[in-house]
Amino acid sequence: MSTSLRLGVAEFRARPGRALLPGVALVVGVACLLAALVLSDALTRSVDEGAPLTPSSVSHVVDTKPVEYGTGTVEANQPRLDDALLAKLSPVGRAVPVQVAQADLLDGTGRAGEHRAEVHVQQPDLARWPLAEGKAPAADGEVAVDKITAFERGLKPGDKIKLAAADGRPVEVTVSGVMKKGGMDSRPILVAGPDLARKLDPRPVTTAIWVLGGARADVASAAGAAYVVWDPAPDADSIGSDLTFILLPFSILALATAVFVAAATFRAVYAQRQRQTAMLRCIGAQRGPLVRRSLFEAFVTGAVAGVGGALLGGPMAWLLARTFDATGISALFGAVELSPELLPSTGYVILGVVVAAVLSVMAAVRPAINAARVSPLAALREADNEVPPRAVRRLRFVFGALFTGGAALLALMAIGAKGTAAAPLAVTFSAIAAVTGLFWILGPVTVPFIARLFGKIGGTQWKLAGAEVRRMPQRSASVALPLLLASSMVTFFLVVLGGAQEMTYQYANEERPDATVVDAGERPLPEIPAQPDVAASVVLHKTSDGAASVDPEQFKAWLKAQNVSGAEQLTAGTAIVPPHWEGRPYVEADGTQYKVVGTIPGSITGYTPIIAGPTSGPAEKVLVALKPGVDPAQFRAGLQAALPNNPTVIVKTDADERAEADRYMHLGTVLMMMLLGLSVAVAVTGIGTALTISVQERRKELALRRALGVTRGGLQGGVIAEAIMLALVGVIGGGVLGFGYAEIAILSTGIDMSLPGLKVVLPLVIGAVAVVLLAVLAAFGPSRGASRIRPAAGLASG
C-alpha cells in the first residue's frame, strides 16, 4: 500500500496538471449539484419567511371538519364559518374571522387585469403577514403588497396604487408595506384592514376563526360538534418549495455526465503513460499496486475537484437566480431577487468533496484495471492510435446490432401500443437501447463516420481534425457521448413541449367568439356602447341556475356573423346546449323548463346552456363578432376608451389565449434549456480535456507542422476545428436522435399532436450555436498550448 501511495504522490509531483485533468468535469458537476442545493435553500428560505404567522395572542383556531369524499355529503349541508358562529363564540373569548377577499388591482392605465388580487383581511392588532419593509396597514386607505407585485411595478412604501371597489369605481390607496411573501405566477396578493376589505368585496371568504382567550373545551362546546378546534403552533407555517425536486434531477444528470467525461479522461491519461506502466511491469510491479496507485490518484483528484466545485456552487447559484429573475421564472415560484450564499457551508463542502471523490474513484476503476493489464512488451512500442483486435471489433458489431435492432423493435411496439401505459416504457427503453447500441458500443464507428461527413465540407484544417477523430475513435466516442445525450434530451423535451403547445393551439382554434366582454370581478356589465368594428353582438344574462338567457333573434344573428350553426330552431321558450349536455330533453332555469332544440360548440359560450328566455337579469357577458380584418387589440382599445368610468370591464380574445400559451411555452423552454444546459456545460469540458491530452500526445507532429511552415494561427485553427467537429457530432447526432424519439413519443400517446414548427427549431439552433461557442472556448487553452510548441523542442521530445 505504501508503494502505491508513493507512486501516486510521485505522479502528482511530476505532472500535477495531467493528474488533475480528469477532475475538471467533476468540478463543474459538483458545482451544478451544490448550486441546485444552495438555490433551493434560498428559495425555500424566501418562501418560508413569507409564510403567515398566527399571532401569539390567539388561543384557539376554529375550522370546519375535512370533507370526506364519497359520503354523499353535499356542500349545502356543510357547516359555515359565518356570523352565527361568531356570535356563539363571542361569549367565550374574542372571535376574529380569518378572511380572504377578492379585488381588482388597476394598472398604470387605470384598467383591471384578467387575474384578480387576493386580499387578506388583517386586524390592526393581529398582524399575520411578515413584511420585508414598511409597516402593516393600519388606516382605511392602506394596503401591503406582495414582493412580486412590488418588484414588477416598482412599488415601495408610500407609493399610491388604485383598486376597484365592489361597485367598480377606482379607489386610491397607499402602499404601507411590502410583504415577504410573493404571489405565485405574478398573481397579486394584498393585505388590507376590515373596512377597506368590505369596500372591495362585501362577501369575503372566511377560512378560519381565531379565538382569543377562553378554554379549549369551552370553545369546542360553543362551536358544536360540526367544527374542529385546535391550538395554533407558535411558529410560522412552513410552506417550503418544490424547486429542489426540479433542480436536483438535472444536477444529478450533470453529475452523471461528469462521470462519463471523467472516465474518458482517466482512460486517455492512463493510455498516455502506458510506457511508464509497462516499464514498472518489466521490473516486477504487480497489477494490484498499479491499480491502487491509479485509484489513489483518482481519490485525490476527486477531493480537489470537490473543493473547487463547492467554491463554484455559490456563484453559479447566484447566476441562476439572476437568470430566473430576468426570464420571469422566479415569479412562477413566488420569489424574486433571491440571494443564495456565495460561500458554501462546511456541510456542503464536505458533501462536495465526498461526492466528487467517490465518483472520481468510480470513474477510474475500469480505466485503472485496463491500464494495469498492459503487457511489459508495450514499453518497446508506441501507441499512436486505438485499433482493437479483430475479435473485439466483431464482438462490438454483434452487440451493437443487437441493441440497435432491439431499439427499433421497442419503438415499433410503442407505436403499436399507443395510448396504453406500456407505450411510454417502451419508448424509454428503446431510447436507452438506441444510445447504447449506436453511440456506446458502436461509438468508435458511428462518431468517426459522422465526423467524416463534416470533414468533407471544410478545408485542410477540417480534414486534419477528421483524421485525428478517426485516429482515436474510442476517445472521440467517449467525448461525444455525454454531449450527444444532453443534446438529445434538450431536443426531445423541446419538441414534445412544442407539440403540446400546438395541441393547445388546436383547442384554441375551436369556434369561439372573436371577442368576449366581461367584468373582471363578475359585476353586471354596463351598457356597452356601439363600436364601428362590430359585425354583430349578443348580451348573455345570468340566471340563478348557471344558464345564460339571450334574445333568440339577436343570438342567431350573432352566430351567423361567427359562421356557426346549430341554433336555427332557437325560439322563445327553447334552449341550446353544449355537446356534453346533448341527450337532455330540457334545461331548467329560474324554475322554468326550456326544451333543447340544438347544440353549439361549448367554446362559443363557455360551455353554458343558452335559453331563449327573459333577458331582465344582470348582463354578465357580451359576445362579439368583429368585421373581417379588424384587429382585436384595436377593438379592445376603442371599447375601453368608450368606458372610462368602468375600469373593470375587460375584453378577452383568442389572441390573448395564444399569448398566454406562448408565455408558458417560453418559460418552459427557457427553464428546460437552462437546466439541461448544465449537462451540456459539463459535456463540453470533456472536449477541452480531450484536446489537452491530444496536444500533449502530438507534440512531435505539431512541431513538424511548424517546421514545415504552418503558422501558430494555423495550429490553433486545427485544434479549434477539432473542438467544433466534436461539438457538431454531439449536437447533430443528439438532435437527430432526440427529434426521432420525440416523434415516436408523440405517436405513442395516441393523441392527435402535430410536430412543432419554427418556434422550437429556433431555440435548438440557438442552443447548438451556444454549444459550438462553448467548445471553442474550451479549446482555447489547448490551442494556445499547441501554438507555443517550438519546432526543435517538439521534435526532440518523446
186-243 pLDDT tens trace: 789 999 999 999 999 999 999 999 999 989 999 999 998 889 998 887 654 555 555 5
Q: Which of 180, 203, 230 finishes a domain?
A: 230
Which pLDDT band holds residue 455 (cuts at 50, 70, 90)? low
The whole-number average pLDDT for the span 67-73 is: 50
pLDDT attached to residue 244: 63
Q: Which three cell numbers stand for residue 475?
A: 476517445
Angle among Cα 479, 485, 489 to the nearest 5 degrees reads 155
Which pLDDT band holds residue 380 (cuts at 50, 70, 90)? low
pLDDT attached to residue 698: 78
Q: Where are the alpha helices (DSSP H) in 224-377?
A: 243-272, 274-282, 287-327, 329-332, 346-372
Whether the predicted pLDDT of 590 surpasses 50: yes
Whether the predicted pLDDT of 735 surpasses 90: no
Do residue 305 and residue 412 come from a single domain? no
Q: For the chain, give the number of residues.
A: 798
Per-range mean pLDDT, top range of 6-10, 18-22, 735-739: 735-739
What are φ and ψ of residue 683, in 5° steps?
Answer: -65, -35
Beta strand 189-192 pairing with 117-121: parallel
Do residue 190 and residue 160 come from a single domain? yes
Distance of alpha carbon 498 from its chain centroid, rounded? 14
Whether the predicted pLDDT of 31 surpasses 80: yes
CB atoms within 10 A of CB 572: 12
Question: Looking at the 3D structure of the chain, how many domains does it have?
Answer: 4
Do residue 67 and residue 153 come from a single domain? yes
pLDDT tens column, 139-161: 888 999 999 999 889 999 999 99
* Percent of the chain clearing pLDDT 90 (strictly above): 21
More confident residue, 621 or 286: 621
Q: What is the DSSP letter of 184?
A: G
Instruction: Report yes or no on 238 lying in a domain.
Output: no
What are φ and ψ of residue 627, in 5° steps?
Answer: -70, 150
Side chain identity at 461, as an amino acid letter? Q
More confident residue, 71 or 287: 287
Q: What is the DSSP letter of 110?
A: S
Whether the predicted pLDDT of 516 surpasses 60: yes
Do residue 636 and residue 659 come from a single domain? no
More confident residue, 452 or 239: 452
Q: Which of 230, 259, 288 finishes a domain?
A: 230
More confident residue, 443 or 111: 111
Q: How far is CA 96 from CA 4, 208, 263, 630, in A?
A: 74, 9, 65, 53
Which pLDDT band holds residue 752 (cuts at 50, 70, 90)? low
Which pLDDT band holds residue 291 (cuts at 50, 70, 90)? confident
Which pLDDT band holds residue 15 (cuts at 50, 70, 90)? low
* Matching residue, cell 463554484: 312
Beta strand 548-549 pairing with 610-611: parallel
The whole-number average pLDDT for the span 635-645 is: 89
Do residue 663 and residue 734 come from a single domain? yes
pLDDT attached to residue 751: 67
Beta strands in 87-196 (DSSP E): 94-105, 117-121, 131-134, 142-145, 160-164, 170-179, 189-192
For helices 274-282 and 243-272, the axis angle rounded to 10 degrees is 60
pLDDT attached to residue 274: 72
More confident residue, 675 or 347: 347
| Class of residue 781 by CB neighbours under 10 A (exposed 0-12, middle 13-18, buried 19+) | middle
The whole-number average pLDDT for the span 550-558 is: 90
Q: What is the DSSP letter of 563?
A: T
3-state secondary structure of 239: coil
Q: Which three cell numbers stand for residue 243?
A: 424547486
Instruction: Report yes or no on 390 lying in a domain.
Output: no
Which pLDDT band holds residue 74 (cuts at 50, 70, 90)? very low
Rounded distance, CA 122 to CA 137, Å?
8
218-238: burial string, b at 16+ Cβ within 10 Å, e else:
bbbebbeeebebeebeeebee
pTM for this predicted structure: 0.75
3-state secondary structure of 594: strand
Q: Which of 195, 230, 265 finishes a domain?
A: 230
Do residue 378 and residue 408 come from a single domain? no
Do residue 502 and residue 534 come from a single domain? no
Instruction: Report yes or no on 426 lying in a domain.
Output: no
Q: How far is CA 503 from CA 601, 667, 746, in A?
A: 18, 17, 11
pLDDT attached to residue 102: 93
Rounded distance, CA 753 to CA 775, Å?
35
How many Cα atoms sit within 13 Å of 731 on the Cβ side? 24
What are φ and ψ of residue 2, in 5° steps?
Answer: -65, -35
Instruction: Report yes or no on 619 lying in a domain.
Output: yes
More confident residue, 97 or 483: 97
Angle among Cα 462, 466, 468 to the nearest 5 degrees reads 120
Whether the predicted pLDDT of 509 surpasses 80: no
Instruction: Report yes or no on 703 lying in a domain.
Output: yes
Per-range mean pLDDT, top range of 108-117, 273-282, 381-390, 453-462: 108-117
For helices 780-787 and 654-697, the axis angle rounded to 10 degrees is 30
Containing 398, the helix (H) or strand (E) segment is helix 390-416
The whole-number average pLDDT for the span 13-36 is: 78
CB atoms within 10 A of CB 360: 29
Q: Is the dihedral of CA 324, 771, 736, 400 positive or negative?
A: negative
The whole-number average pLDDT for the span 307-326 is: 89
* Matching residue, cell 351567423: 560
The whole-number average pLDDT for the span 550-556 is: 90
Instruction: Report yes or no on 40 lying in a domain.
Output: yes
Please write down the HEC assignment for all residues of 10-31.
HHHHHCHHHHHCCHHHHHHHHH
Mean pLDDT rounded to a whole number for the chain: 82
Q: What is the DSSP letter of 341?
A: -
Do residue 288 and residue 375 come from a single domain? yes
Contacts of 589 (CB under 8 A, 6+ apart): 543, 544, 545, 547, 549, 575, 609, 611, 613
Do residue 248 and residue 225 come from a single domain? no
Rounded distance, CA 246 to CA 340, Å?
17
Whether the predicted pLDDT of 99 surpasses 90: yes
Angle among Cα 72, 77, 81 to the nearest 5 degrees reads 135
What are φ and ψ of residue 382, in 5° steps?
Answer: -90, 155
Whether the predicted pLDDT of 68 surpasses 70: no
pLDDT attached to residue 399: 87
Instruction: Report yes or no on 55 lying in a domain.
Output: no
CB atoms within 10 A of CB 75: 6
Residues 353, 292: contact at Cβ < 8 Å? Answer: no
Instruction: Report yes or no on 278 lying in a domain.
Output: yes
Side chain identity at 533, as an amino acid letter? D
Contacts of 285 (CB under 8 A, 6+ apart): none
More confident residue, 285 or 555: 555
Q: Virtual CA dihedral for 714, 717, 719, 723, nearest 10 degrees? A: -170
What are φ and ψ of residue 143, in 5° steps?
Answer: -140, 155
More confident residue, 156 or 771: 156
Rounded distance, CA 604 to CA 611, Å?
14
Greatest alpha-carbon span in the chain: 107
* Matching residue, cell 451493437: 400
More confident residue, 226 or 468: 226
More confident residue, 71 or 647: 647
Domain region containing 622 = 515-652
Whether the predicted pLDDT of 172 surpasses 50: yes
- Please state which of the ranges 258-272, 299-313, 535-549, 747-761 shows the lowest mean pLDDT: 747-761
Do residue 643 and residue 574 come from a single domain? yes
Residues 545, 588: contact at Cβ < 8 Å? Answer: yes
Q: Which three cell numbers stand for residue 309?
A: 466545485
pLDDT tens column, 517-533: 999 988 889 888 888 88
Do residue 750 and residue 783 come from a single domain? yes
Rounded distance, CA 112 to CA 116, Å?
8
* Percent of the chain clearing pLDDT 70 (strictly above): 87
Rounded distance, CA 135 to CA 176, Å?
6
pLDDT attached to residue 357: 93
pLDDT attached to residue 475: 78
Do residue 408 and residue 555 come from a single domain? no
pLDDT attached to residue 542: 85
* Matching residue, cell 473547487: 308
Contacts of 488 (CB under 8 A, 6+ apart): 431, 435, 733, 734, 735, 737, 738, 741
3-state secondary structure of 620: strand
Whether the predicted pLDDT of 712 surpasses 50: yes
Q: How far is CA 550 from CA 373, 523, 524, 525, 589, in A?
A: 88, 18, 15, 15, 13
Q: Which three cell numbers stand for residue 710?
A: 504552418
Q: Virtual CA dihedral for 486, 487, 493, 494, nearest 10 degrees? A: 140
Side chain identity at 75, as an amino acid letter? E
